[in-house]
Structures are given as structure tokens and as C-alpha cells.
Amino acid sequence: MSNDVKDQDATDEESAAVESPEATEESHETSEVSASTEEVSEPKEVHSESEADEVPAAAEVVPDKSVASNDEGVKPAGPVAGVAAFFDHPEHLLFAAIQARDAKFERFDAMSPFPIHGMDEAMGLGRSWIPWVTFTAGLTGLATAASMQFGIMAFDWPMVFGGRPYIAWPSFVPIMFELTVLFAGITTPLVMLIAAGCFRKPLIIDKQITNNRFALWIAADDKKFDRDQVVDFMKSLNPTEIRTVNKDGK
């Protein structure tokens, strides 16, 4: 009996010895699998970080929707009168006028509810020619008064008043002054209104320009006008709105 028990114990030890390498191999394989899993998981984490680093910064920036435009790929119907860019502050309009002047645009205008100091220089405007109209009209009035008085009193119908000579020029001065002022005062505003186009049907770009809006207008009859290029130029000025206006005002 004792021998049989010893033999049975030896057999159990041998079987345990035989099974232990397999268990060892299984545990080793398990450790390798876990290690490989960790190795696989780590590159995934690194790859995700690299992907996050490769995301362009522009993708994280919310696009600016403050610029409203009717030019997003839509060609306006009908003949184009020009392109207008709207701003919220007079200083922005002043800067836009300087940029339009430097870009060599000639047929452009800056519109605001009130005069802006320095706008003439910003637009590259010279001295107005209206004073020459006033000067010419005043000279015409002076010449008219002088010719009428001297011609009538000295040559056409000479008369003696109070014993004075026929050409008593000091008495002609008030009439010459009055006609000088009259001709200049009437001609100047009339020519100014005609030059400003007040007797033509106006092109209404926006009714709020006279209230609280500021606009830079580039007309289609400018020799450098190209609608797409003008729209791109307007966008570079960061306006609040860009609008292409047809000749019918739409």
C-alpha cells in the first residue's frame, strides 16, 4: 500500500510538473498579449494627439458672418450701376476712401449723414471749381451793370441830373455792386445743383445713409471697374455689408 501511495504521489508530481510549463506558457502568452495591447493602445493615443496637432488653426476660428453681401456667387440681373460697401463708423469710411484713392479708382464717392473732416484729402479731391463759377458770374454782373449805365447815360440817352456830368461813375457803384451779388448769388447754387445731379432721377443705394450709415461707392463707369475685383477689394476693407446695385436701384 505504501508503495502504491508513493507511486501515486510521484505520478501527481509529474503531472503537475508537466502541466506547470503549459500554465507558465499560457501566463507568458497572456502577458505578451496585454503588453502588445498596451503597445497598440499607446500609438493610438499618440496618433490622436498628432491628429489634434495637425488640425489647422483656421478650422477652430468661427467664420465672420458680420459681412452681409448679395454677391455670394450670384450675378445681378440687369446693368450694374456700381458696388457699395457699408460701415458703422466715420473713421472706417475715411480709411476706406484712402484705400480706394490709393487703388487708383477715380469714380468713387464716400457717403455719410454729416461731413467728415479730412474726407477731401482722403479722396484725393482738389479745390472745388464752384468758386470760379461764382467769380465769373460776379464779373458778368459787374460788367452788365457798368455797360448799361455808362452806355445809356453817356451815349444812348444822356441826361443831366442835379447838374452832374453825364458819366457820374460814383452814382453807378450801387447798381454795379447789386448786379455783381445778384448774378453770383443766383448762378452759384444753380450750377452746384446741376453738377450734383439734383435734377436727375437719383440712384438710391440705401435710405439709411442719410440717417446712420456710411457707404463707399464705386461706380460702374470707372475705367478700372470689374465687379468681382471690386467686391474682393471691398471685402478687404472689412465692411458690415457689400451690395451690388443695378441701374434700376435694385
Could you write out the DSSP letters of every residue in 185-203? Answer: HHHHHHHHHHHTTTTS---
- Dihedral sign for Cα atoms in the order 32, 33, 38, 41: positive
**Per mean pLDDT, which range of 28-32, 40-44, 76-80, 184-188 is the poorest?**
40-44
- Name the residue with higher pLDDT: 91 or 19: 91
- Looking at residue 237, its pLDDT comes to 92
Closest CA to 147 of 130, 124, 169: 169
- Looking at residue 249, its pLDDT comes to 58
Share of the chain above pLDDT 70, in %: 68
Phi, psi angles (nearest 5°) of residue 84 = -120, 140
Contact 61, 82 (CB under 8 A): no
**Averaged pLDDT for residues 120-136:** 92
pLDDT averaged over the chain?
75
pLDDT at 217 over 80: yes
pTM more than 0.75: no
pLDDT at 173 over 50: yes
- Looking at residue 78, its pLDDT comes to 62
Q: Taking CA 15 as the corner, what is the angle to CA 10 and CA 16, rounded to the nearest 5 degrees?
A: 95
- Looking at residue 75, its pLDDT comes to 53
**Per mean pLDDT, which range of 34-43, 53-62, 103-112 is the poorest?**
53-62
**Per mean pLDDT, which range of 4-13, 92-101, 159-168, 207-216 is the poorest?**
4-13
**Averaged pLDDT for residues 35-53:** 41
**Averaged pLDDT for residues 112-116:** 91
- Looking at residue 236, its pLDDT comes to 92
Ranked by mean pLDDT, which of 42-56, 167-181, 202-216 comes out on top? 167-181
Where do the DSSP E strands lie in 107-165?
108-111
How many CA atoms within 13 Å lie on the side-chain side of 198?
8
Cell triple for 244: 451690388
Phi, psi angles (nearest 5°) of residue 241 = -160, 145
- Looking at residue 27, its pLDDT comes to 46
- Looking at residue 51, its pLDDT comes to 40
- Looking at residue 18, its pLDDT comes to 41
Environment class of residue 240 by beta-carbon count within 10 Å: exposed (0-12), middle (13-18) or buried (19+)?
middle
Closest CA to 243 of 60, 9, 70: 70
- Name the residue with higher pLDDT: 140 or 58: 140
Share of the chain above pLDDT 90, in %: 39
- Looking at residue 163, its pLDDT comes to 76
Contact 117, 93 (CB under 8 A): no
